[in-house]
Amino acid sequence: MEILRVERLSKVYGKGESEVKALDDVSFSIRKGEFVAIIGPSGSGKSTLLHLLGGVDHPTSGKVFIEGTDMYDLNETQLAIFRRRQIGLIYQFYNLIPVLTVEENITLPLLLDKQKIDQKQLDGLVKTLNLQQRLNHLPNQLSGGQQQRVSIGRAIISNPAIILADEPTGNLDSKNSGEIVELLKMLNKTRHQTLIVITHDERIALQADRVIAIEDGKIAKDEVTRP
Ligand code: ADP
Ligand code: ADP
């Protein structure tokens, strides 16, 4: 089943002399449960693509459909709600809220969406993330690996259709990177969670079902490694 479709997506930054075509007429689709790695040189358009898939920026032209919804056809209020429910974002530098505890950071999307917290579900998630002993800590009291696990918790608490991650292991040492890769893979396998991950990390690319290489704003290669 198709969960995401990108149609002729382009993004141009700036105007005239300083114009940059960051994404140039890109189309592809992704099936539910697929684990896709996006690779490519710096400046090739990977982050631009991820931001457009995540509804955090607007395309110059083209469309993004998530579970059949034309995302950029929504108004800003609808888009904000759609994003919170259907898209989990994970960043290289975690983007946690420093004054909120681990538990508050994880449950923030539910709070913003006025949804009830299912305590049993939360307990299960916290156990999966191995954060049981850290629920009342603040982000700066945690190691990098722990902070990234909190951000993964925040990304999946609303059971989004898709998880988008931008270099999730980019700021971690080898041991913590390995744990994050295992965790992402486990979510993909056991929850059938669709995952799209920008990465320079060979280990992630090797775990993915499919590798899309971006060069100069275009898809240079799209290979299914695990059918
Ligand atoms: P990558 O993630 O592959 O490093 P990006 O998507 O960040 O690539 O960038 C693609 C191109 O778009 C680059 O040439 C970059 O300089 C340019 N770019 C990215 N964001 C902006 C922006 N906000 N304003 C102007 N140019 C940008
Ligand atoms: P890791 O071994 O996972 O790389 P660290 O060596 O950074 O992690 O931290 C070891 C333990 O000490 C972790 O469980 C972490 O939560 C805790 N810790 C690290 N920094 C702090 C801090 N500034 N305040 C409180 N606890 C910390």
Q: ipTM for the complex?
A: 0.72
Q: What is the pLDDT of residue 226?
A: 78
116 has pLDDT over 80: yes
Residue 23 in contact with residue 217, Cβ under 8 Å? yes
Confidence of residue 227 (pLDDT cuts 50, 70, 90): confident
If you measure from the C-alpha of residue 217 to the centroid of ligand 2, how many angstroms do you get, rounded to a whole number?
Answer: 39
Class of domain 2-224: alpha beta
State the ligand closest to the CA atom of 18. 1
Write the burial class of residue 16 (CB in 10 Å: 0-12 exposed, 13-18 middle, 19+ buried): exposed
Q: pLDDT of 117-133, one tens digit each? A: 999 999 999 999 999 99
Residue 195 in contact with residue 183, Cβ under 8 Å? no
Full-model pTM:
0.88
Q: What is the pLDDT of residue 147?
A: 97
Confidence of residue 140 (pLDDT cuts 50, 70, 90): very high
Residue 162 in contact with residue 14, Cβ under 8 Å? no
Residue 71 in contact with residue 64, Cβ under 8 Å? yes
CA gap 137, 42 in Å, rounded: 35
Instruction: Determine the residue of 17, 20, 21, 215 to mutate for testing ligand 1's pocket, defined as the one with the most ligand atoms within 8 A of the Cβ atom.
Output: 20
At residue 7, what are phi and psi to the nearest 5 degrees? -120, 115
Whether 42 lines ligand 1, by a CB cut-off of 6 Å, is yes
- Taking CB atoms and a 6 Å cutoff, what residues make up the pocket around ligand 2? 141-143, 145-146, 176
CA gap 165, 203 in Å, rounded: 15
Q: pLDDT of 7-34, one tens digit each? A: 999 999 999 999 999 999 999 999 999 9
Tally the residues of the chain. 227
Q: pLDDT of 171-202, one tens digit each? A: 999 999 999 999 999 999 998 999 999 999 88
If you measure from the C-alpha of residue 28 to the centroid of ligand 2, how many angstroms do you get, rounded to a whole number?
Answer: 41
Task: Please name the amino acid found at residue 117.
Answer: I
Nearest-atom number in ligand 1 for the CA of 41 is 3
Whether 40 lines ligand 1, by a CB cut-off of 6 Å, is yes
